[in-house]
Structure 1
Amino acid sequence: MARQLRAEQTRATIITAAADLFDRQGYESTSLSDIVEHAQVTKGALYFHFAAKEDLAYAIMELQSRASRQVLREVESRTCSSLEALMRTTFGIARLAVEGPIPRAGLRLATAEVAVRPPLRHPFAEWLELATRKLLGAVRESDVHPDIDIDAVAHSLVYFFVGTRVAGRSLEPVARLPRRVAEMWHLMIRGLVPVPRRARYLTLASQLEREIRTV
């Protein structure tokens, strides 16, 4: 039992070290030797758990996917509108990126030349499905204009959200991500939400930003 626990701890250490390096310097620029040094483990320990760098990338993306799905489950356990659920999910994923290197690395790997192997699905495909479903719900609930192009808005939202991190990575610290997500929502809300319901969602965007910054 103790040996199994040590093995699990070593595996977690390697994944965290790899995620930190992938996030800071990119997948292609990170070697297995870099990961061994950063994790302070032996090459034998690394190869015991991961046969190749691609396996490490897959493990990180799988953990990121699990964390994102957990955010969605927590949001959907609440009683809230479709638009609020979509907003809370984006801020929840942003919170994950602020709090740890694995979600940050997962996002960076998803934008790199790293294949997403089945059964894992590409996170952007999952987010597009979520955005489409919630926007359709928001139209039914009269929180979004009925004449919007759902597909165009869903794609714009996901690309906008991903872009806040991809561009921001080189320009500012990750702690600014909640502010950028709030700015994104302030722009989206003004274009999507009917005037009588707009104040509620603008206030919610500011509230969700503050919740992350005070955690």
Structure 2
Amino acid sequence: MARQLRAEQTRTTIITAAADLFDRHGYESTSLSDIVEHAQVTKGALYFHFAAKEDLARAVMELQARASRQVAQEVESRGCSSLEFLIRLTFGIARLAVEDPIPRAGLRLATADVAVRPPMKHPFSELLELSTRKLIGAVRESDLHPDIDVDAAAHSLVYFFVGTRIAGRSLDPDGRLPRRVAEMWHLMIRGLVPVPRRARYLTLTTQLERETRTG
């Protein structure tokens, strides 16, 4: 049992070190030797758990996806409206990205040359499917204009949100991400939500930005 625990701890150390380097330097610019040095493990220990750098990248992406699903489940348990769900979800993922190198790296790796193989889903596809379902629900709940193009709105939301992280990684410090997500939602709410419903969601966005920055 002690040997198994040590092996799991070593695996976690390697994944965390790899995520930190992938996030700071990118997948292509990070070598297995870099990861071995950063994790302070032997090459044998690394190869015991991971046959190739791509396997490590997929492990990081899977952990990021798992963390995002956990956020989605927690928000779903609130029983909130479909639009509130999406707003809370994006801020929840933003909080993960601010606090933890693994979610940060997972988002960056999703744009790198890393093959995603079943049963794992590409994280952006998963977010797009969820966004589409929730936006359809928001139309039914009268929180979006009834003639909205849901497919276009879902793609715009995902691309906009991902861009706040990917482009922002080079332009802003990590702590700026909640502000960028709030700016995104202020623009989208004004474009998608009928005037009588806007105040509620604009207020929610401001509240969540404040909580994410200070949490």
Q: What band does the TM-score fall into relative to the shorter chain?
A: over 0.9
Q: Give the distance between the partners of 1:159 and 1:204, measured in 2 at CA.
A: 22
Runs of 4+ in 1 over 6 A off after TM superposition: none
Per-residue CA deviations over 1:36-89 (Å, capped at 9, x if unaligned) read: 000000111101111110110111011011101111100100121110001111
CA deviation after TM superposition for structure 1 residue 2, in Å: 1.1
Q: Give the distance between the partners of 1:123 and 1:28, measured in 2 at CA.
A: 19
Report the equivalent of 1:159: 159
Tell whether 2:104 aligns with 1:94: no
Report the equivalent of 1:107: 107
- Counterpart of 2:190, as a letter, is R
Identity %: 86
Report the equivalent of 2:211: 211
Tell whether 2:6 aligns with 1:6: yes
Report the equivalent of 2:132: 132
Report the equivalent of 2:17: 17
Q: Give the distance between the partners of 2:210 and 2:120, measured in 1 at CA.
A: 33
Report the equivalent of 1:202: 202
What does 1:46-65 correspond to in 2, within 5 Å?
46-65=46-65
Q: Give the distance between the partners of 2:23 and 2:74, measured in 1 at CA.
A: 26
CA deviation after TM superposition for structure 1 residue 213, in Å: 1.1
Q: Give the distance between the partners of 1:44 and 1:124, measured in 2 at CA.
A: 34
Report the equivalent of 1:173: 173
Per-residue CA deviations over 1:86-130 (Å, capped at 9, x if unaligned) read: 111111111110111100111111011111111100011111111
Give the unaligned 5+ runs of structure 1.
Answer: none
Report the equivalent of 1:32: 32
Q: Give the distance between the partners of 1:34 and 1:106, measured in 2 at CA.
A: 18
Report the equivalent of 2:183: 183
- Counterpart of 1:111, as a letter, is T
Q: Give the distance between the partners of 1:65 and 1:164, measured in 2 at CA.
A: 18
Q: Give the distance between the partners of 1:65 and 1:162, measured in 2 at CA.
A: 14
CA deviation after TM superposition for structure 1 residue 214, in Å: 1.3
Report the equivalent of 1:193: 193
Q: Give the distance between the partners of 1:136 and 1:113, measured in 2 at CA.
A: 32
Q: Give the distance between the partners of 2:61 and 2:157, measured in 1 at CA.
A: 21
CA deviation after TM superposition for structure 1 residue 25, in Å: 0.3
TM-score w.r.t. the length of structure 2 is 0.99
Q: Give the distance between the partners of 2:4 and 2:45, measured in 1 at CA.
A: 13
Instruction: Classify the secondary structure of the residue corresponding to 2:5.
Output: helix
Report the equivalent of 1:41: 41
Q: Give the distance between the partners of 1:66 and 1:155, measured in 2 at CA.
A: 22
Q: Give the distance between the partners of 2:206 and 2:111, measured in 1 at CA.
A: 28
Instruction: Classify the secondary structure of the residue corresponding to 2:200.
Output: helix
Instruction: Classify the secondary structure of the residue corresponding to 1:30.
Output: coil
TM-score w.r.t. the length of structure 1 is 0.99
Give the unaligned 5+ runs of structure 2.
Answer: none
